[in-house]
Structure 1
Amino acid sequence: MPVGNRTRDTGHGRRETRTVKAVTLHTPGGISFPHAQQAIRITRTRTTNGKTSRETAYLTVSLAAGHAQPSDLQDWIRRHWHIENRVHHVRDVTFREDLHQARTGTGPAVIATLRNTTIGYHRTNNAPNIARATIHANRRSHDLITAVNSSYTTTQ
């Protein structure tokens, strides 16, 4: 079975190499992570404008090597990053979610739902930049109200 996987991508003015190496854990008593079956090292090497940076991350998974090959792990990690980039990054950067003061009751869940709804609305309308679309929507709130009301049929 392969113990590693490497992918190379180019785009947005950068070259990126991601290497995943996995080892099966046969240590008696484990490694103090309940149910851990594999330990994984991910190395990301990125070159942008001639400058190279390297980042290494470690994680464990509860799937045995027979159910999670390094190529599978590589794919799953990239998909997770895609979700992080598409939703959480926008919430953190555009809406400054980490700085929000709502910390009790249903406040955080309500605010998160409103942010997700906003992001979804702008993505549905093919907005290339959520921050710019949000600023535009703030200036023309009547357009949003019309869009929401026009999508519901009345029964009266």
Structure 2
Amino acid sequence: MLDQGGDYLFALKANRPAMLAEVAAFFADPPEALAAHTTTEADHGRIETRHHRVTHCVDWIFGDRAEPGAPAMPGLATLACVIATRDGGPPSTRYYLSSARLAPQAFAAAVRAHWAIENSLHWVLDVTFDEDRARNRADNGPENLAILRRLALNILNTALPEMPVSRKRKRAGWSDNFARSIIGQMR
């Protein structure tokens, strides 16, 4: 990825407990003031405030204090933290590692872009196509069906954009004429 000009932005989760604890301790009491950016969004009847903080001081995470067996993070340039609060409820804190040297505003945009992909693709595939319950496990079957689901989703997304995908899928199953009209809109 890095050798082809791309960057990574990984969420740091509990499967690396020592690294997560070190990064959490760092953000709890940083040695210097950190660059920060706050966003507030009102969506789905709730208000969410996100406080983003980033640091480019990453050398301490490796060396003697590193977790044994921890994966090497080549090109690590940014550690970041998001503290999100919904409607005055308890805050949730997430930590991220990135190879890009991100300002807080750029980090906030990158994290939101990731969730946009999650919400617009993976959620739709799971809910509309019931992908998580697929039981095909042999050979190339899972990959082939995943490609067909994404192809079908792309076709459904481009045809009749004002109608929900789930409704278009159901109508195409009921009516051959409607299915032909959806397929006929492919370009």
- TM-score range (shorter-chain normalised) is 0.7 to 0.9
CA distance in 2, matches of 1:37, 1:151: 42
Aligned to 1:26: 59
Shift in CA distance, 106/138, structure 1 to aligned 2, threshold 3 Å: same
Aligned to 2:136: 102
Structure 2 residue identity aligned to 1:87: L
Q: Is the 8 A contact 1:20 1:40 kept in 2?
A: yes
Cα deviation, residue 53, structure 1: 4.9
Aligned residue among 116, 120, 142 for 2:154: 120
Structure 1 residue identity aligned to 2:53: K
Cα deviations by residue, 1:102-132 (Å, 9 ceiling, x for unpaired): 2232211221122112222222121442222
Which structure has more relative contact order (CA 8 Å, sep 6+)? It is: 2
Percentage of pairs with the same residue: 25
CA distance in 2, matches of 1:133, 1:14: 29
Cα deviations by residue, 1:57-114 (Å, 9 ceiling, x for unpaired): 11211223xxx11110100111111111111110122222122112232211221122
CA distance in 2, matches of 1:140, 1:7: 45
Unaligned runs of 5+ in 2: 1-32
Shift in CA distance, 150/133, structure 1 to aligned 2, threshold 3 Å: closer
Structure 2 residue identity aligned to 1:118: A
CA distance in 1, matches of 2:110, 2:163: 25
Unaligned runs of 5+ in 1: none
Shift in CA distance, 127/118, structure 1 to aligned 2, threshold 3 Å: farther
Structure 1 residue identity aligned to 2:105: S
CA distance in 1, matches of 2:185, 2:45: 42
SS at match of 1:63: coil
Alignment of structure 1 residues 108-147 onto 2, 5 Å: 108-124=142-158, 125-147=160-182
Shift in CA distance, 119/11, structure 1 to aligned 2, threshold 3 Å: same
- Between Structure 1 and Structure 2, the one with more strand by share is 1
CA distance in 1, matches of 2:140, 2:103: 40
Q: Is the 8 A contact 2:81 2:96 kept in 1?
A: yes
Q: Normalising to structure 1: TM-score of the pair?
A: 0.79
Aligned to 1:54: 91
Aligned to 2:16: none
Alignment of structure 1 residues 34-113 onto 2, 5 Å: 34-35=73-74, 36-47=76-87, 52-64=89-101, 68-113=102-147
Q: Which moved more, 1:139-148 or 1:113-122?
A: 139-148
Q: How many residues align?
A: 146
Q: Which moved more, 1:32-41 or 1:17-26?
A: 32-41
